[in-house]
């Protein structure tokens, strides 16, 4: 298998992968030509086995990290119920613009999916669904910060919307931020490179699904899966840490 989709764990009931940015969890109508995780897995597992995989939750196209699939109907039923009843613990890391004034914060703005012409989730007190995210500031790098997010609910784009609403949009987020890539020249003092030839450290939404904890759908055993930072996220954090 290529470096884009790495298998973290597999057994007869579940398949856990480390998803690279740029892949849809499953095909959607808004981006029909984008590569999907299932298509990529079909090249390594075989199309028949890949088609048997059942979606339990999703990650946005540009979000990297831990993604779980069920391998049979019973496992899908159990895992789907666990996600819906908030029995799954998810941890994300995000690079954001700005320095949060808080060390920890809880955001509970209700969200309405596909709420505008850009198909964004919007804050809507009247029609939005309850949405709660716990945030923790991990590090501050001048104009940027590293933030941990623990969503209690699983609404579309929840972390991205909540961070933007708090005033700290995720770096390079084209929907809820300014979409601008992160360049070394934007924060390194006395940078002497060629601005026209400079390549971005990170050019996609800077959000990574770091870990996920759940009970095994058959045995109930407590499981925890983690995905290390991908190269672009790791490089960005490393360079920001040097400033």
173 counts as catalytic: no
Residue pair 106/134 in contact by the 8 Å Cβ criterion: yes
Residue pair 208/227 in contact by the 8 Å Cβ criterion: yes
Distance CA 8, CA 157 (A): 24
Which candidate in 11, 18, 31, 60 is catalytic? 60
Closest CA to 197 of 183, 217, 210, 187: 183
DSSP label at 187?
T
- In a 13 Å sphere around the CA of 201, the CA atoms on its Cβ side amount to 18
Helices (H), the chain: 37-45, 47-52, 73-84, 158-166, 231-242
Show which residues are catalytic.
60
């Amino acid at each position: 298998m290529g470096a884009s989709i790495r298998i973290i764990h597999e057994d007869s009931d579940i398949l856990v992968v480390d998803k690279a940015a740029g892949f849809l969890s499953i095909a959607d109508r808004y981006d029909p030509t984008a590569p999907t995780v299932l298509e990529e897995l079909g090249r390594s597992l075989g199309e028949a086995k890949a088609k048997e995989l059942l979606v339990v939750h999703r990650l946005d196209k540009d979000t990297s990290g831990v993604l779980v699939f069920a391998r049979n109907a019973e496992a899908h039923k159990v895992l789907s119920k666990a996600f819906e009843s908030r029995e799954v613990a998810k941890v994300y890391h995000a690079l954001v613009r700005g320095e949060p004034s808080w060390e920890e914060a809880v955001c509970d703005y209700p969200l309405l999916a596909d709420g505008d012409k850009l198909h964004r989730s919007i804050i809507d007190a009247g029609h939005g669904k309850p949405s709660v995210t716990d945030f923790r500031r991990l590090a501050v790098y001048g104009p940027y910060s590293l933030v941990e997010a623990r969503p209690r609910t699983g609404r579309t784009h929840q972390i991205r919307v909540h961070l933007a609403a708090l005033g700290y949009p995720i770096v390079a987020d084209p929907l809820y931020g300014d979409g601008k890539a992160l360049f070394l020249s934007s924060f390194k003092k006395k940078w002497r490179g060629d601005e026209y030839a400079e390549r971005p450290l990170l050019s996609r939404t800077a959000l990574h699904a770091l870990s996920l904890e759940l009970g095994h759908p058959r045995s109930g055993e407590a499981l925890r899966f983690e995905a290390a930072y991908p190269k672009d996220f790791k490089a960005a954090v490393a360079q920001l840490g040097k400033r």
